[in-house]
A and B are shown apart, each in its own frame.
Chain A
Amino acid sequence: EVQMLESGGGLVQPGGSLRLSCAASEFTFGNYGMIWVRQAPGKGLEWVSSIGTSDAYTYYPDSMKGRFTISRDNSKNTLYLQMNSLRAEDTAVYYCAKIPFSGACYFDYWGQGTLVTVSS
């Protein structure tokens, strides 16, 4: 069964950095686009970043550009999210999810999430 396991979350001070990882298994990771979605406590879902099958194709909403960087290592079946200049409003559970094919407009599998808390 498709599995994705996020890690790297934790408590970080405002202005700090954190790198999240998403380890994928039971599917050919390099063949699929991936995405990061976050959910602040008690709030809805928010798109953070997405990536094609290689680092050549990355996308961000304007609110994340310049601070967050998505990347992937297909040899390690792992997706990453580098987060810099963190703010209190970045506090959220961060999920990775799989895009079932190029051009698909939905995600078919999600990880269980990792909690990032930005606080002094």
Chain B
Amino acid sequence: EIVLTQSPATLSLSPGERATLSCRASQSVRSYLAWYQQKPGQAPRLLIYDASNRATGIPARFSGSGSGTDFTLTISSLEPEDFAVYYCQQRTNNWWTFGQGTKVEI
């Protein structure tokens, strides 16, 4: 089982600042990593797939990078609606795992 470790657990920032979230895999997942955003009381929403591709309708301020075991989600300039929890996720051999989440708070 591949374990995904996200850091930091909490990121305290202000609107307009840059957010950098990390996800590290216990073994290589090549570029097969996704990022989701979840707000309280809502289902997760796909942001980034295959490490660096923005999903439909996702603003350009969200970007993903990385391959192998180290991945980054960057929010270039935080908007008020971006304060939420972010999860990374991978699939290998029909086994799906999630990171434990990073909360981006004001």
Residues of A within 8 A of B (CB): 35, 37, 44-47, 50, 59, 61, 95, 104-113
Contacts and interface: CB of A to CB of B under 8 A. Distances in A.
A44 B100 contact: yes
Contacts of B34: 105-107
Looking at A37, A107, A109, which has the most chain B CB atoms within 10 Å of its CB?
Answer: A107
Contacts of B84: none
B71 interface: no
Contacts of B87: 44-45
Given A111-B43, A112-B43, A113-B43, A106 B89 contact: yes
B50 interface: yes
Contact of B98 (A47, A59, A104, A112): A47
B94 A59 contact: yes
B43 A95 contact: yes
Contacts, number: 55
B46 to A, nearest CB: 6
21 contacts: A44-B98, A45-B87, A45-B98, A47-B96, A47-B97, A47-B98, A50-B94, A59-B94, A104-B49, A104-B91, A105-B29, A105-B32, A105-B34, A105-B50, A106-B34, A106-B46, A106-B91, A107-B34, A108-B46, A108-B55, A110-B45
B90 interface: yes
- Range of interface residues on B (Cβ < 8 Å): 20 to 34
A60 to B, nearest CB: 10
A92 to B, nearest CB: 13
B54 to A, nearest CB: 12
Looking at B33, B42, B49, B87, which has the most chain A CB atoms within 10 Å of its CB?
Answer: B49
Contact of A107 (B29, B42, B46, B90): B46
A105 B90 contact: yes
Nearest to A93: B43
Given A45-B101, A105-B32, A108-B49, 15 more contacts: A37-B98, A45-B44, A45-B89, A47-B98, A50-B94, A50-B96, A95-B44, A104-B91, A105-B49, A105-B50, A106-B89, A108-B46, A108-B55, A109-B46, A112-B43
